[in-house]
Amino acid sequence: MCGIIGYVGPGPATPRILSGLQRLDYRGYDSAGVVVLDGDRIRVEKMPGKLDHLLDHLKKMPAMNGCVGLGHTRWATHGGPTQRNAHPHLSHRATVAVVHNGIIENHEELRRRLRKRGYRFASETDTEVIAHLVEDHYRGDPLEAVRRAINQLDGSFAIGALFRDHPDVLIGARLNSPLLVGYGEGANYLASDAPAVLPFTRKVAYLEDRELAEIRPGGIRVIDAGGRPRDPKVIDITWDFASAAKEGYPHFMLKEVYEQPRALADTIRGRTNRQHLHFPELEIPARRLRAAKRVTIVACGTAAHAGMTAKYAFEELARIPTEVVLASEFRYGDPVIGRDTLAIAVTQSGETMDTLCAIRAAKEHGALALAVCNVVGSSIPRACDGTVYTHAGPEIGVASTKAYTTQIAVLELLAIRLGMIRGTLTREAARPLLRAMERVPAAVEKALECDGGVAKLARKYAGSRNFMYIGRRYNFPNAYEGALKLKELSYIHAEGYGAGEMKHGPLALVDDTFPTVAVCTKGRAYDKILSNMKEIEARGGILIAVANPRDAKVRALARHVVEVPQTIEMVSPMVTVVPLQLLAYHIAVTLGRDVDKPRNLAKAVTVE
């Protein structure tokens, strides 16, 4: 989720690029950089950290002149948030400069091949591979060089490239990552998002997958990956800046809920390909993982709920005893942790103080420490022996959504890997699980179709003073998660329970004013949760069920049914949580709450 802006025209590029970058910092803020063709030399300036660091740095440098240029604000995925890894990246002979948003899945293989051909690498990024590859294909035609290069890339990318020998050309190309061209007066633009170009033009065209654009001051030519001309649809952007940053969604949270199919695809793809499962960035050798006799997961809030879901997978697939401890409690107990413990910190921000203290304490006890994190180079990965990143992109809404589902994805992939390493899961048994994983983004996309129906339910029940959420097994943590989302966004009291617990006390709360949201998709405890729902129905409780399509048994019991696609039970929480997120969202909107910044809360909790 990086930001890209490019300009080619008669005027100076640098001020326009910096102004575009200022409008893109919600796309990432690990580093920022700018490149222009200054005379006959490609000149790059880049700095780690927020854009301000780059702006301060540029003040001390000679002016960057040039009428063609690119800018980039980075959200790190491959390679830490350092100056070396900041974009733009130059090709080996400094003839091509590239900025990139996305993940190149086959970058290691391409890097090996390019090294053999004498290319030297200056960074740890997947992007640098693109710069070298384009240079390798360059025979005088920039568009053709990028076209040939992208035909060798797997994964997702939005690319901007400029060439030392072409002072009036920018090239853009995309796959699975947004990129648009902007039409100005005698000048044209390239950007990852509309806000970057809004001060200069409102006429834009979004490129389609595997399309390329050749952008010159006098016009824009678009072709497909086969070289055939395309006719892009030019639209007028009518949004103001704030709506454009949210891509037209009224809130970042809703945008992030809708980004989940993409975030999950980025997280899962590249780590699975039906037969195999690999974590190239995980620096812990298999023998050390095999030696672990137990797993302890430490996390807070939503991340802890992802950990609770993973417990089922670690125990089922890897047959390894797993406990989940709230990070805020961990240090103040007497945890039984030793050299045979694999301690996993789950965190979106990588900065949560409770989680940081807990994983440090686990390490002090001798545990092998692993982070599951969304922010490359943040404190918690730095404190751990290894990290697996969730590629969710920046999460801006305070309520965690896409980070949660991608955390579950990474943890369950780790459980499969651990099962294979420990010999408790054969390759044959793993295969259908990996296939089910690969189908999750499509299932989540389908689940999002419930939005309209859920919004109606939200309006109907927004006046309720209490809510109950129930689930079992893999979907039991989603009961906690649904309740947490509702509490933090709408300020309505809500509780999550394992459905089997209702008869041990909470059933006393149920009356005909009390909505209970039951996650009752197919799984090992499906019949059991139906009985739990009957107990509620018999007492006049209002049941809202999240169920699989055409489930007559659920329909007979529940007052409202929200349907989500059927999956295997293990991956179902990533799908069933979608209506829970949307219900909380729409109730909060109905009540006029500040959805992206609920009262009393902060996005990263850096105090104990």
The string of DSSP codes covering 351-367 is --HHHHHHHHHHHHTT-
CA–CA distance, 179 with 158 (Å, rounded to integer): 6
Q: Which is nearer to ligand F6R, 36 or 595 (CB)?
A: 595
In whole angstroms, the minimum distance from the beta carbon of 577 to ligand F6R comes to: 11
Q: Which is nearer to ligand F6R, 31 or 349 (CB)?
A: 349
3-class DSSP assignment, residue 494: strand
In whole angstroms, the minimum distance from the beta carbon of 378 to ligand F6R comes to: 9
Q: Considering 50, 446, 528, 603, which one is annotated as catalytic?
A: 603
Closest CA to 349 of 87, 583, 601, 176: 601
In whole angstroms, the minimum distance from the beta carbon of 411 to ligand F6R comes to: 13
What's the DSSP call for residue 285? Answer: -
Q: Considering 2, 357, 373, 384, which one is annotated as catalytic?
A: 2
Q: Which is nearer to ligand F6R, 125 or 349 (CB)?
A: 349
Q: Which is nearer to ligand F6R, 97 or 484 (CB)?
A: 484
Rounded alpha-carbon distances, angstroms, from residue 513 to 113, 534, 587: 66, 17, 16
Virtual torsion, Cα 471, 477, 483, 489, nearest 10 deg: -140
Q: Which is nearer to ligand F6R, 63 or 607 (CB)?
A: 607
| Residues in touch with ligand F6R (CB under 6 A) | 300-303, 347-349, 352, 355, 399-400, 484, 488, 604-605
In whole angstroms, the minimum distance from the beta carbon of 360 to ligand F6R comes to: 14
Q: Which is nearer to ligand F6R, 400 or 516 (CB)?
A: 400
Tokens of residue 552, six digits: 């007559």
Q: Which is nearer to ligand F6R, 399 or 414 (CB)?
A: 399
Burial 104-139 (b: 16+ CB within 10 A, else e): bbebeebbebbeeeebeeebebbbbbbbbbbbbbbe
Burial 289-327 (b: 16+ CB within 10 A, else e): beebebbbbbbbbbbbbbbbbbbbbbebbbebebbbbbb
Q: Is the distance from CB of 549 to CB of 566 less than 8 angstroms?
A: yes
3-class DSSP assignment, residue 232: coil
- Active site (annotated) includes residue 46: no
Q: Which is nearer to ligand F6R, 303 or 318 (CB)?
A: 303
Q: Which is nearer to ligand F6R, 201 or 352 (CB)?
A: 352
Sheet holding 515-519, edge to edge: 493-498, 466-471, 515-519, 542-547, 560-563
* Residue carrying the six token digits 């568009």: 143
Q: Is the distance from CB of 469 to CB of 517 less than 8 angstroms?
A: yes
Q: Is the distance from CB of 121 to CB of 170 less than 8 angstroms?
A: no
In whole angstroms, the minimum distance from the beta carbon of 304 to ligand F6R comes to: 7
- Active site (annotated) includes residue 603: yes
Tokens of residue 153, six digits: 């890339």
In whole angstroms, the minimum distance from the beta carbon of 362 to ligand F6R comes to: 15
In whole angstroms, the minimum distance from the beta carbon of 15 to ligand F6R comes to: 36
The string of DSSP codes covering 531-598 is HHHHHHHHTTPEEEEEE-TT-HHHHHH-SEEEE-----GGGHHHHHHHHHHHHHHHHHHHTT--TTS-
User: Within a 10 A sphere around the Cβ of 165, how many other Cβ atoms?
Assistant: 12
Q: Which is nearer to ligand F6R, 13 or 327 (CB)?
A: 327
- Write the secondary structure of 86-147 as one string of H (helix), E (strand) and C (coil): CCCEECCCCCEEEEEEEEECCHHHHHHHHHHCCCCCCCCCCHHHHHHHHHHHCCCCHHHHHH
Q: 79 in the Ramachandran plot: left (φ > 0), alpha (ψ -120 to 50) or beta?
A: left
Closest CA to 525 of 480, 475, 469: 475
596 Cβ partners below 8 Å, 6+ apart? 251, 252, 253, 396, 397, 398
Partnered with residue 189 across adjacent β-strands are 7, 182
In whole angstroms, the minimum distance from the beta carbon of 285 to ligand F6R comes to: 27
Q: Nearest-CB residue to ligand F6R?
A: 301
In whole angstroms, the minimum distance from the beta carbon of 113 to ligand F6R comes to: 38
In whole angstroms, the minimum distance from the beta carbon of 395 to ligand F6R comes to: 8
Residues with a known catalytic role: 2, 603
